[in-house]
């Protein structure tokens, strides 16, 4: 299986000289099974350079798994070049939105309104299919079994476990570990903590034993108190997930857009000092645009 990162920044694309080493595009990850089946995790701005790399493989079917509908995870879709070429199929997978009452089709419907984009969906030449997923219910894409899991973010956010030929990847999308909304002196604290503990156990079970965990590490532990409730994790929380789940490799992603490459490396160096690897611990890496990891 191969994992290639095409976008690793969070919230907003951040191009420029200070982000050139790790990249400024927003979330997009290419997965290739050992059978060369193409699965794409999220469609941030990184999907545009990915689509350019696919032009030698036409025609094809691209299965895109959307974690959630915030802009930095969908804004590259209108620029996915194969959409404009007959013979291709874009199969978009994602969640039902209880607020709008719509499925994953709204991701394209909203962006392709004529006021915001000059090409309407009806004018695109590729076939576009929509698959609305149910948490915990697996689907099959070729040799790969895909299972969506509900994570913790201000909108519905799916984490995805991908398993094929005995290999596995889990991607959290945007995720903040569940937290107790009550003070420990409140009478509701204990009951709510039961919910938090059960949700945490479900998430760890979803990640259990994966070869590669790709996790939201937006903030440092020092930054987190000011960001509490925003729906993002820290290096510390993701390392704890990786250890408890028994993952072999952790890729830290969704890099804070105001953090330069130098600052990112400095923060990560401190994280490694705070979490010295013990025997059996996962390997820890910063996700880097253009990097390909094969296992």
Query: Distance (Å, rounded) from C-alpha 148 to C-alpha 173?
Result: 11
Instruction: Kindly indicate the confidence band of residue 173, based on its pLDDT and cuts at 50, 70 and 90.
Output: very high
Peptide bond into 161 cis (omega under 30): no
Only one residue has tokens 């160096």, namely 269
pTM above 0.85, yes or no: yes
Mean pLDDT of the region 93-117 = 93
Tokens read off for 109:
């419907």
Instruction: Kindly indicate the confidence band of residue 153, based on its pLDDT and cuts at 50, 70 and 90.
Output: very high
CATH topology of domain 2-294: Metallo-beta-lactamase; Chain A (3.60.15)
Mean pLDDT of the region 263-283 = 96
Query: Distance (Å, rounded) from C-alpha 234 to C-alpha 182?
Result: 21
Query: Mean pLDDT across the chain, nearest whole number?
Result: 97
Angle (CA) 207-213-216 rounded to 5° is: 100
Query: Distance (Å, rounded) from C-alpha 33 to C-alpha 138?
Result: 17
pLDDT of residue 276: 93
Q: Among residues of the chain, what percentage have pLDDT more than 70?
A: 100
> Tens digit of pLDDT for each residue in 47-64?
999 999 999 999 999 999
Residues 70 and 158: beta-carbon distance below 8 Å: no
> Tens digit of pLDDT for each residue in 240-262?
999 999 999 999 999 999 999 99
């Amino acid at each position: 299986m191969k994992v290639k990162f095409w976008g690793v920044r969070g919230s907003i694309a951040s191009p420029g000289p200070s982000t050139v080493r790790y990249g400024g595009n927003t979330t997009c990850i290419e997965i290739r099974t050992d059978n060369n089946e193409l699965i794409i995790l999220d469609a941030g701005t990184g999907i545009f350079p990915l689509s350019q790399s696919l032009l030698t493989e036409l025609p094809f079917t691209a299965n895109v798994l959307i974690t959630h509908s915030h802009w930095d995870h969908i804004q590259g879709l209108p620029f996915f070049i194969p959409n404009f070429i007959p013979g291709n199929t874009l199969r978009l997978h994602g969640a039902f939105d209880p607020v709008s009452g719509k499925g994953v089709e709204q991701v394209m419907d909203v962006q392709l309104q004529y006021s915001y984009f000059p090409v309407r969906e009806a004018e695109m030449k590729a076939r576009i299919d929509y698959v609305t997923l149910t948490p915990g219910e697996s689907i099959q894409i070729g040799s790969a079994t895909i299972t969506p899991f509900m994570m913790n973010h201000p909108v519905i956010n799916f984490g995805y476990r991908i398993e094929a030929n005995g290999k596995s990847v889990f991607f959290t999308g945007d995720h903040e570990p569940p937290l107790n909304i009550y003070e420990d002196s409140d009478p509701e604290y204990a009951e709510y903590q039961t919910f938090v503990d059960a949700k945490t156990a479900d998430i760890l079970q979803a990640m259990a034993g994966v070869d590669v965990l790709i996790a939201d590490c937006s903030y440092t532990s020092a930054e987190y108190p000011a960001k509490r409730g925003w729906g993002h994790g820290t290096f510390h929380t993701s390392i704890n997930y990786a250890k408890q789940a028994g993952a072999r490799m952790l890729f830290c992603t969704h890099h804070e857009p105001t953090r330069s490459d130098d600052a990112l490396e400095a923060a990560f160096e401190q994280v490694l000092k705070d979490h010295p690897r013990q025997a059996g611990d996962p390997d820890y890496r910063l996700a880097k645009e253009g990097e390909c990891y094969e296992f």
